[in-house]
Amino acid sequence: MALSLFRLFLSAGIAFLTGKLVSKVKLPAILGWLIAGMALGPHVLSLMDQPLLDAGWYQNAVHILECAVGLMIGTELVWSKLKRFGRSIVITTLTQSLGTFLLLCLVFGVVFYLSQLPVYLAFLLGGIALATAPAPALSIVREFRTSGPVTQTLIPMAALDDIVGCIVFFTTIAVVTGNLSAGTLPPYMAALVVGLPLIIGAAVGIPAGLALRKERSASASLAILLLTILAAAGVGFFFNHVVMPRPVLNFMLIGMAFSAAFSNMISEERLSRLMSAFNPILGAAMILVILNLGAPLDYHLIFGAGLFTAVYIAARAAGKYFGAYFGASITKAPDTVKKYLGLTLLPHSGVSLVFTGIAVSVLTGADPDSARIIQGTIAAAAVINEIIAVVAAKKGFEWAGELRPEQREAAQAPPRKST
């Protein structure tokens, strides 16, 4: 086990450095982590070999880290913030999210039917496609100090988008899990796959909130947070392995509900201080979770999933753009929001990569061929789409006129000809 731990920490260090290199070319570090996972996994260098990935201690550690990663979403679900979002942003979030889901389901339903593949895969891909990565677009906001209606709409939409994405995906995966279980998972258990993690997270999050409301040192507050995260994961392990017919609970959803509960019980200032202290741990957890997703991926799948990947990227882009356009139109948002908001929503989400891991784990035993289709399609899309999406997001802000004047002039200036 000591050698396995060394390999895991070494892999995490390599992934971190790869993310830094990717960031140098203005792409999200998460792509570097994913690529490092694929390179270090069993199909290439085998630094993270199959025995490591199959080890029980490793799987349990990943679940705890997934619980920690759930704090990324849950800490944004503060009711006082949600009330400020306004009708327009809520409606536009729903139209672009659900529009993307429905379009992916329709397009892939036809593609898989004609290809004689399981049509239910279309719903899984639709659920995975919903969430949007705010980091690439928000990094452009910070770098170029963008300001205007598109910027003001995008920032609060990021949290709402992940809420809708989680609800749709976990409902979809619950139904698929129930159907694939061949009777081992009773119908009522399908609802528990979504509901039980929320109950577990909230049940632990409320006493955590009561403890965190009291003024303590930063180290003491962080210790309480870490202990309660472990408690939430521990309750999840109990239900997953003792109560449920099979281990199907999602620990990221437990972490999301846990953090949403305590985030609404403490002041925004205290929450900000707490998350600032937790951020280094959250960053490490994200690296390891994404590394875990990348390691099992066979790079050959990327080359073999060309058609599905192209359809996925095109259908997702169309759903995001026209869904945002429709929502902004019916709520009478400014023209720049109608025309360009969709371009800032194209980056794929790290949450979607976590969704992919969940979908693959559900499919691997019952339908391994379909699991490979999901893996290959999303692995390729995660890389290709980010390159396109970051350029599109920057253009969206530029065309909306929300870049600083000097940045806009630099972006629009033609290249100089050599004399």
Q: Which residues pair with 132 in a beta bridge?
A: 348
Is the separation of the CB atoms in 92 and 153 below 8 Å?
Answer: yes
Comparing CA positions, the residue from 413, 368, 299, 351 lying closest to residue 37 is 299
pLDDT at 326: 94
Residue 89, token pair as written in the block: 């942003």
pLDDT at 410: 47
pLDDT at 323: 93
pLDDT at 273: 87
Comparing CA positions, the residue from 26, 15, 76, 25 lying closest to residue 48 is 15
pLDDT at 4: 81
Residue 72, token pair as written in the block: 């990324």
Is the separation of the CB atoms in 45 and 39 below 8 Å?
Answer: yes
Question: Which residues of the chain fall below pLDDT 70?
Answer: 26-28, 81-86, 133-140, 142-144, 158-159, 162, 178-191, 193-194, 244-248, 297-305, 349-351, 354, 383, 386-387, 404-419
- For residue 53, with 0-12 CB atoms within 10 Å meaning exposed, 13-18 middle and 19 or more buried, which class applies? middle
Cβ contacts of 379 within 8 Å, gap of 6 or more: 34, 38, 294, 297, 301, 302, 305, 356
How many CB atoms are closer than 10 A to CB 176? Answer: 24
| All domains of the chain in start order, with CATH | 64-400 (1.20.1530)
pLDDT digits (tens, 9 = 90+) for 316-347: 999 999 999 999 999 888 888 899 898 888 87
Q: How many Å apart are CA 266 and CA 221, to the nearest integer?
A: 12
Residue 217 gets the label, from left (phi > 0), alpha (psi -120 to 50) or beta, of beta
pLDDT at 184: 46
Q: Which residues pair with 348 in a beta bridge?
A: 132
Is the separation of the CB atoms in 258 and 208 below 8 Å?
Answer: yes
